[in-house]
Amino acid sequence: MSYETLLTDVRGDGTRRTLLITLNRPKALNALNDQLMDELGAALKAADADAGIGAIVITGSEKAFAAGADIGVLAQHDFVKAYTTDLITRNWETIRTIRKPVIAAVAGFALGGGCELAMMCDIVIAADTAKFGQPEIKLGIIPGAGGTQRLPRAVGKAKAMDLALTGRMMGAEEAERAGLVSRVVPADKLLEEALDAATLICNLGVASVLAVKESVNRSFEGTLADGIMFERRLFHALFGTPDQIEGMDAFLNKRKAEFK
């Protein structure tokens, strides 16, 4: 399928390959409007349903992953319009329903909804040029796509308050120290690094990949006791699967596993 605000490309040559999604509204620094979020939702759902896709990478441009929700559109709302149309709901949460791993490859600005979009991904890999922030306070609003909830879970209350209350930007190194980002790489290696990580995932057992994602996400959404029990049940459920048998047999026989 072709899109107006995204570029899509399938990368890799294994049984399962990676869908690379590039946000593409360069003149507006990839500001996120309804069309882009609808197209992103459609691309993600199609990839999730496609057995030939094992992982998804979302990236932007060198200058901006995404500079937030489209302020031109936001500015046309008063409370009644925002509330009755459920502003920032339509297709913003689709990414949460995707079962396959989604990697954000972030260069340049990831602000407001752009930072929130990165935080909805499972792994965030940042170029050394990346800048994260929740500057909504400077627009007289607050984050509206999960920023006040996911940011404290990612970086702790103190830094989340600092960022969301001041609207300041945080560079890639600080974001990595704070736990928002899993690795920082030189900008010219960003895509290669993200695609390599995606390929590693594509070559692993599908059921265990989905189970890790589901179980780690569970740790964010319920109590620790619920999460541990949920994890244990999924752990038990993987015993006897072809991938578990192959993986353990390969380890015990000192050979490389061949997952089907």
Rounded to the nearest 10 degrees, what angle do helices 242-252 and 206-221 cross at? Answer: 100
- 107 included as an active-site residue: no
Name the catalytic one among 69, 105, 160, 197.
69
For ligand CAA, the closer of residues 19 and 66 by Cβ is 66
State the nearest-atom distance from the C-beta of 237 to ligand CAA, in Å. 37
- 231 included as an active-site residue: no
State the nearest-atom distance from the C-beta of 144 to ligand CAA, in Å. 4
Task: Name the pairing type of β-strands 53-59 and 17-23.
Answer: parallel
For ligand CAA, the closer of residues 25 and 159 by Cβ is 25
Letter string b/e over residues 191-230, b meaning 16 or more CB atoms within 10 A of that residue's CB: bebbbebbbebbbbbbbbbebbbebeebeeeeeeeebeeb
For ligand CAA, the closer of residues 100 and 150 by Cβ is 150
State the nearest-atom distance from the C-beta of 185 to ligand CAA, in Å. 22
Burial of 74 (0-12, 13-18, 19+ CB in 10 A): buried
Name the catalytic one among 136, 146, 176, 205.
136
State the nearest-atom distance from the C-beta of 146 to ligand CAA, in Å. 8
Partner residues linked to 188 by β-bridges: none
Name the catalytic one among 41, 108, 116, 127.
116
Chain residues binding ligand CAA by CB under 6 A are 28-29, 31, 67-72, 74, 88, 109, 111-113, 116, 135-136, 139, 143-145, 147
For ligand CAA, the closer of residues 12 and 68 by Cβ is 68
- 174 included as an active-site residue: no
By annotation, the residues acting in catalysis are 69, 113, 116, 136
